Amino acid sequence: GFLDHPGLEILVATGWRDLCTVFHRGCPASAEVCTKSNAHLLDSLIDPRQPVVEACDHGLVDCAVPIIIKGKHIASLATGQLLLEKPDLERFRRQAKTFGFDEQKYLEALEEIPVVSEDQLRKVTTFLGSLAILITQLGYARLKSKEEALHLAEEVAERKRAEQAAQSSELKHRILHENMRDAFVSVAMSGEILEFNGAYQDMLGYTREELFTKPYTDLTP
């Protein structure tokens, strides 16, 4: 994750594990624990060359470095949701009970967490942190004036508004089609079925999986 500082807003995230996104961050009580652990880790960062490794209060390990530009800590890069040794299953069973998780699914998600060495974790985080600083410095150098920075912020805000509008439009589109009484189907020139609504499925009596595997011409002359 790439987070701003000190606000801790997540700017970029990839590779997050279900154990964190579905369980730890999906429950208000456990998410509060995540927030405190994150703040403690990221507030302790001082030197970009010295990554800090720390176990979160849920039992996973994170590693982070500060992104410092012109002496100011503007962001942090963190890798994590890892383990340095095999997990204590009893601890995670207790956590499942404490936060009301489905124990079986919680432990299945735990199995997906990789076990790595601390040395490997530090090396990877240091490299990614150096790369982030380089990219950030290049970006900072291009912001020659407050006007350019303001213009960039306006572009980002407009892009977010456009994305939200597109998502809203797509949702309305899907709701409309799913509630139409008339059958609706969208077909590629090759005859492949791309999209259809419930009325079309009910009319033909096939499952969704079956419809997506049948050429349109086999269903409708």
73 within 8 A of 66, measured Cβ to Cβ:
yes
Integer Cα distance of 107 and 111 in angstroms: 6
The answer to whether 125 and 116 have CB atoms below 8 angstroms apart is no
Taking the C-alpha atoms of residue 29 and residue 27, their distance in angstroms, rounded to an integer, is 6
pLDDT at site 181: 81
* Amino acid 85: pLDDT: 92
Sequence-separated (6 or more) residues with CB below 8 Å from residue 185: 193, 195, 196, 197, 200, 216
For helices 28-43 and 89-99, what crossing angle results, to 10°? 120
- Looking at the chain, the number of H-run helices and the number of E-run strands are 9, 7
Q: Distance between CA atoms of 16 and 6, rounded to whole angstroms? A: 21
Q: Which two tokens stand for residue 112?
A: 């997906």
- 175-181 contact pairs (CB < 8 A, 24+): none
Amino acid 144: pLDDT: 64
User: Structure pTM?
Assistant: 0.57
The answer to whether 30 touches 58, Cβ cutoff 8 Å, is yes
Token pair 């509630």: residue:
179
Cβ(114)–Cβ(79) under 8 Å? no
The CA-to-CA distance between both ends of the chain, in Å, stands at 52
What is the C-alpha to C-alpha distance for residues 205 and 70, in angstroms, rounded to an integer? Answer: 66
Residue with token string 């002359």: 221
Q: How many CB atoms lie within 10 A of CB 44?
A: 11
Positive or negative CA dihedral for 202, 206, 211, 217?
A: negative
Query: If you count them, how many residues does the chain have?
Result: 221
One digit per residue, pLDDT tens: the chain, 221 residues? 888 888 888 888 888 889 998 999 888 999 998 888 888 888 888 888 888 999 999 999 998 988 888 788 888 988 888 999 999 999 999 999 999 999 999 999 999 999 999 998 889 888 888 888 887 777 777 766 666 777 778 888 888 888 887 777 777 777 766 777 888 888 888 888 888 888 888 888 888 888 888 888 888 76
Q: What is the pLDDT of residue 87?
A: 92
